[in-house]
Structure 1
Amino acid sequence: MAIIDLINQCEKDMSFKIDKLKTEFNSLRTGRANPQLLDTVYIEYYGSRVPLKQIAAISVPDARTLEIKPWDKTALEPIEAELKKIDLGSIPQKQGDLIRINLPPMNEEQRKKLVKVVSQIAEDIRVEIRNIRRDYVEKIKKAQKSSEISEDDSKRYEQQIQKVTNKYIDNINQIAQAKEKELLTL
């Protein structure tokens, strides 16, 4: 593998971790109804586990309400059963051919707990980014030891990987700060 390809792959791997961070943050409740709260919900449907958003329309009629309307009415029962298993602070209510979830307002203590969760998730992703950096720096050092690249090139490539790492760590910090601000805003 060419070194440039190695650096590009490193950046792709780190980008994947940013996507993972955003997905995890979107599944956190912020006080406002958000269809992404249900992105991680899978329903047992005709013998396989299917993401909720593939078998139902999820809408937000107001700031504290989620409505789930399955395209197939036979999916109402399994969706309701699965939604009762997750902790959204409210019990889903079936109303005709849709399920409604009224989210209670979050208190200050819940918000502070979620800020700690956000910090922990961000730190976990930072560690994963640093591990990716370590793995790619090791690959560059192996290439240098096997005389595929010179020592000067090795140092230059390591610096490039460090720049990419710094960029993604800064990105994580910005995303985490925005999420914390969103959580603390009443």
Structure 2
Amino acid sequence: MAAEFDISDIKRRMQGAIASLKHELTGLRTGRASAALLEPVMVECYGQAMPINQVATISVSEARALAVQVWDKNMVGAVDRAIRDANLGLSPTTEGQILRIRIPELNEQRRKELAKIAHKYTEEARVAVRHVRRDGMEILRKLVKDKTISEDDEKRHEAEVQKATDAAIVEVDQALAAKEKEIMQV
């Protein structure tokens, strides 16, 4: 099987790493309420674990509060337990089939911990982007070795890959800067 160089595939893979980073950053709790905060919560119901969004509707009722509307009144206790057991530091209060969750203020130490976690996620995304770059460069070297493309074409394509890499790293850094600003905002 002959390897083929496709810059759009390389850019798509880099965008995948960025999308994954943004998703991970959304899950980091800041002082503000976000429905994404409860995404990782799994609820034990009907004999199996289900994501919370398959048994309830999550909405932001205020800047610092979430409302979880449980569809089946028999599942309210299970959803409450799942949120408490998820180690998010949240304590829901029950009002019929609605669970209200106040998002507590973050202290300075917790803000710094969250910033460190954000940095870790960002570094993982940078590494993923660099892996995609390396894969692209290896394909180009193989194509030159097999005499499928000229060395001039290789240099031109390497420049395209590097430009895509630089753009992806800038986007990763911007995502981190935005999240840090959000975390440190009191």
What's the TM-score once normalised by structure 2's chain length?
0.91
Alignment-derived partner of residue 43 in structure 2: 43
Unaligned runs of 5+ in 2: none
Alignment-derived partner of residue 168 in structure 2: 168
Alignment-derived partner of residue 89 in structure 1: 89
The answer on whether the counterparts of 1:56 and 1:68 sit within 8 Å (CA) in structure 2 is yes
Letter in 2 for 1:99: L
CA displacement at 1:48 relative to structure 2:
4.5
The answer on whether the counterparts of 1:88 and 1:103 sit within 8 Å (CA) in structure 2 is no
> C-alpha offsets along residues 69-128 of structure 1, whole Å, 9 cap, x if unaligned?
122223323322211122222322322111122221111111111111111111111011
Distance in 1 (CA, whole Å) between partners of 2:139 and 2:12 is 16
Alignment-derived partner of residue 68 in structure 1: 68
Alignment-derived partner of residue 123 in structure 1: 123
Alignment-derived partner of residue 112 in structure 2: 112
Alignment-derived partner of residue 22 in structure 2: 22
Distance in 1 (CA, whole Å) between partners of 2:47 and 2:159 is 50
Q: Cα gap change, 1:48/1:138 in structure 2, threshold over 3 Å: closer, same or farther? A: farther
Unaligned runs of 5+ in 1: none
Q: Secondary structure at the match of 2:141?
A: helix
Distance in 2 (CA, whole Å) between partners of 1:93 and 1:78 is 13
CA displacement at 1:2 relative to structure 2:
4.2
Letter in 2 for 1:29: R
The answer on whether the counterparts of 2:140 and 2:158 sit within 8 Å (CA) in structure 1 is yes
Q: Secondary structure at the match of 1:40?
A: coil
Letter in 2 for 1:41: V
The answer on whether the counterparts of 2:83 and 2:90 sit within 8 Å (CA) in structure 1 is no
What's the TM-score once normalised by structure 1's chain length?
0.91
> C-alpha offsets along residues 14-64 of structure 1, whole Å, 9 cap, x if unaligned?
111111111111101110111111122233343544332233111122222
Q: Secondary structure at the match of 2:159?
A: helix
Letter in 1 for 2:117: V
Q: CA RMSD in A?
A: 1.6
Distance in 2 (CA, whole Å) between partners of 1:12 and 1:74 is 44
